[in-house]
Amino acid sequence: MQINELARAKINLCLHVTGQRDDGYHLLDSIVVFADIGDLVSVKPGHGFSLTINGPFAEGLETGAENLVLQAAQQFRETCDGAAITLTKNLPVASGIGGGSADAAATLRAMSRLTGAPLPSDNGLSLGADVPVCLQNMPCRMQGIGDVITPIKGLPAIHAVLVCPKAGVATALVFDALESKGNSPIYGLQVDDIPLGRMADFLREQRNDLEGPSAILCPEISLCLDQIRHQGAFLARMSGSGATCFGLFETRQASENAARKLALSNPDWWVKPCILGA
């Protein structure tokens, strides 16, 4: 018996930093959606817990106890003897699209299906702030330190292009460089049957508070955003703490044409057309 789960790329359509707790954790307000592309987690019964990693972005990834996939699987150690896990790494590492958190969440879902045991009561928060929203695997508003998750119904599926210049940005440095940590929350969200035009207007009024400091630390981000806008995206923005950026388009053809042109002019970048929220 083998269980497969797609660890879909997580995209922050907007990300507002609204405060910081005394323990250092930042308070966020974010609209999160998921792409129809991602890593693949495959789980089957085993003796003890093991992890094999393959795929285009497997190089350099550790398979030991520090890996979030193994940590997620071991939360089910009281209900099974072990699991043999294979992670096919299709998404760039540390790129602001929740790769590690999405992998951990997919592992939790797969292990729950394999064992029949319930998901962890903390929804994976102990594994990372993005794991609970990735566990939902649907459009959500994420608030607090990632522990307040509200599913959003009525968001339209959006054609998009994801672009990562393959330049690393350390999340801790981005937050350290953020001038204001008490910014305004998301406003004006209507969640019932939102047409694409109104969604576009809403998103233009929001922001990613981490985009500015990330672009200072990694100038390739600004270049990425400029080139995405040049392809006619109605919105270009960075996801998470970077460095992946996204462009939103009105049609599949427009997103695929943009992806092709961006890849041709920037062969060293990771460029993928996708559908968000599907």
Is it the case that residue 61 has pLDDT exceeding 90? yes
Is it the case that residue 145 has pLDDT exceeding 80? yes
How confident is the model over 21-38, as a mean pLDDT? 96
CA triple 69-247-16, angle to 5 deg:
65
Active site residues: 10, 130
How confident is the model over 115-130, as a mean pLDDT? 96
How confident is the model over 141-159, as a mean pLDDT? 93
Is it the case that residue 167 has pLDDT exceeding 90? no
Residue 42 sits at φ, ψ, to 5 deg, of -120, 130
How confident is the model over 162-187, as a mean pLDDT? 92
Is it the case that residue 166 has pLDDT exceeding 90? no
DSSP string covering 45-62, please? E-SEEEEEEESTT-TT--
pLDDT of the residue at 228: 98
User: Which two structure tokens, joined as six digits, stand for 28?
Assistant: 């966020």
Mean pLDDT, rounded, of the chain: 95
- List the CATH code of the domain at 158-276: 3.30.70.890
End-to-end alpha carbon distance in the chain:
28
Domain with CATH 3.30.70.890 in the chain: 158-276
How confident is the model over 200-220, as a mean pLDDT? 95
How confident is the model over 121-146, as a mean pLDDT? 96
Phi-psi region of 19 (alpha: psi -120 to 50; beta: other; left: phi over 0): left
Is it the case that residue 19 has pLDDT exceeding 90? yes
How confident is the model over 119-130, as a mean pLDDT? 96
pLDDT of the residue at 192: 64
pLDDT of the residue at 195: 78
Query: What pairing do the DSSP bridges indicate for beta strands 48-54 and 140-144?
Result: unpaired
Q: How far is CA 193 from CA 107, 137, 156, 243, in A?
A: 31, 19, 7, 31
Is it the case that residue 197 has pLDDT exceeding 90? no
User: Which two structure tokens, joined as six digits, stand for 112?
Assistant: 């729950």
pLDDT of the residue at 245: 98
CA triple 217-160-138, angle to 5 deg:
95
Is it the case that residue 191 has pLDDT exceeding 90? no
Is it the case that residue 278 has pLDDT exceeding 80? no
User: Which two structure tokens, joined as six digits, stand for 45?
Assistant: 């019964």
Domain with CATH 3.30.230.10 in the chain: 3-151
Pick 3-151's CATH classification: 3.30.230.10, 3.40.50.360, 3.40.50.10140, 3.60.90.10.
3.30.230.10
Q: How far is CA 144 from CA 19, 162, 174, 192, in A?
A: 9, 26, 18, 23
